[in-house]
Amino acid sequence: MEFSSKLLENAVYEVSQLPGIGKRTALRLVLHLLKQPKEQTTRLAGALVSLKDQIKFCKNCHNISDVALCEICANPKRDETTVCVVEDIRDVMAIENTDQFKGHYHVLGGKISPMEGIGPHDLTVGTLIHKVKEGQVKELIFALSSTMEGDTTNFYIYKQLEGLSVKTSTIARGIAVGDELEYADEVTLGRSILNRIPFENSFKK
């Protein structure tokens, strides 16, 4: 793509770094921004900068939050002994929408994926195990999508928990293999949390 302006080229390049955005789409978006009033673009740029500068991750569950302890962890009505293990905030939002789960979450920040070079140490597995060792967690519910990476991650955590007194379960699979949690409808997802099964039953020994 040949550009008549270096400024235009830079902006298109940065936008095209976003997932799912090719050069052509990036150009369309940038030209759109250029047509908008200056204040709007300033607000957009400002929102992105503040997001990066000011956002916090809950010190207990690693969920994205504006304060040190997220609303869910800070709510005394929630059951801290039942912890639902999820990949990211989208899963927390999906499960919260079902209105069926009143425990805490633990946000891993991804899944183990040797193909993408993501190992357990790139995730928040360490603090999860630490939390269980401290003894306040009675049950861990694995709610990762049932892809190969999801299964690998569940199993890795399960192995780390050997010898610790914690119940492990996994959400019932009304959700088809490979489906992402966030796309499951609320009723199905809600039911799959209520009808969770012991983790040992989810894989062949």
Q: List contacts with Zn ion (CB under 5 A).
A: 58, 60-61, 63, 70, 73
* Shortest distance (Å) from residue 169 CB to Zn ion: 20
- Phi, psi values for residue 56, rounded to 5°: -120, 160
Q: Which is nearer to Zn ion, 27 or 181 (CB)?
A: 181
Shortest distance in whole angstroms from residue 52 CB to Zn ion: 20
CB of 152 vs Zn ion, minimal distance in Å:
25
Tell me how far the alpha carbon of residue 201 is from its chain's centroid: 25
> Would you say 61 or 140 has its CB closer to Zn ion?
61
Residues 6+ apart with CB under 8 A from 19: none
For Zn ion, the closer of residues 61 and 193 by Cβ is 61
Gap between the Cα atoms of 78 and 104, Å rounded? 7
Nearer to Zn ion, 94 or 175 (CB): 94
3-state helix, strand, coil in the chain (%, to 5): 50, 15, 40
The three-state secondary structure class of 79 is strand
CB 111 within 8 A of CB 147: yes
Closer residue to Zn ion in complex, CB, 96/186: 96
User: Count of residues for the chain?
Assistant: 205
Q: Look-up: residue for tokens 């304060």?
A: 67
Other Cβ atoms less than 10 A from the Cβ of 60: the count is 20
The answer to whether 141 and 84 are in contact (CB under 8 A) is yes
Q: Which two tokens stand for residue 63?
A: 């969920």
Q: In terms of CB distance, is 73 or 172 closer to Zn ion?
A: 73
Q: How far is the CB of 61 from Zn ion (least distance, A)?
A: 3
Shortest CB 82 distance to Zn ion, Å: 14
Min CB(86)–Zn ion separation in Å: 12
